[in-house]
Chains A and B, each alone.
Chain A
């Protein structure tokens, strides 16, 4: 089974910009991994923010964007707010199966 890698923790200043990345043990992440990004706050169910690399759901704040960067999937947060402090999980598809990354704990400080 493929392994999906994410940085374990990242810190950003309020109002700052940060990029979280998601790599695959099988090689470069492409659009055909259909990357999803989900946000989970303590005690809550996750919420999917980004799908198919860069597409947003209706509830996704404009400050979040997705892309491919240097062979990885990336989630960029521009203008971080205290409410964005959460765990962020990347999900990649490998044919009929899917694998989550270990998650990145984002601290806004």
Chain B
């Protein structure tokens, strides 16, 4: 069974750093991209970013508002993806989810696209002084 389990959430002061983990099982981790989504308390979903599989470069893309503070990494040997969050702000508080994304290639437009299927359970980040 495919499963993704986030961890590393907790309470942190503004300006500090936190690293979230997304530990996976039930599938060949190296074949997939991993995506991060967050949800502030009582609010909607916000796309954070994703990291490609190593076969497709292993590079990451981010929401413009978060670029520079957040970094997504992956460690295929541990079947784990990470979200490194630096300079945390009050507005970064919320539940953070990782998802499994499968890559496809559009032959007409010569561009890649991703399909999200399974979501993790989420981990909660609190930012407070």
Of A57, A95, A98, A102, which contacts B117 at CB under 8 A? A57
Residues of B near A57 (CB, < 8 A) are: 117
Which B residues form the contact surface with A (CB < 8 A)? 37, 44-47, 50, 61-65, 97, 99, 106, 109, 111, 113-117, 119-122
A–B Cβ pairs within 8 angstroms, 24 of them: A32-B106, A34-B113, A38-B119, A45-B97, A45-B120, A45-B121, A45-B122, A46-B37, A46-B45, A46-B97, A48-B99, A48-B117, A51-B117, A87-B44, A89-B45, A91-B47, A91-B116, A95-B111, A97-B47, A97-B64, A100-B45, A100-B46, A103-B44, A103-B45
* Nearest-neighbor residue (CB-CB) of B48 within chain A: A98
B116 adjacent to A45 (CB under 8 Å): no
Taking A51-B115, A93-B113, A99-B47 as known contacts, 7 extra A-B pairs with beta carbons closer than 8 A to each other, sorted by chain A number, are A34-B114, A36-B116, A38-B45, A48-B99, A91-B47, A93-B114, A98-B47
Main DSSP-derived SS at the A contact region:
strand
Which A residues form the contact surface with B (CB < 8 A)? 1, 32, 34, 36, 38, 40, 45-48, 51-52, 55, 57, 87, 89, 91, 93, 95-103
* A48/B119 contact (C-beta < 8 A), A1-B65, A93-B113, A96-B61 known: yes
Alpha-carbon gap, A89 to B88, bound state (A) = 26
Residues of A near B50 (CB, < 8 A) are: 98
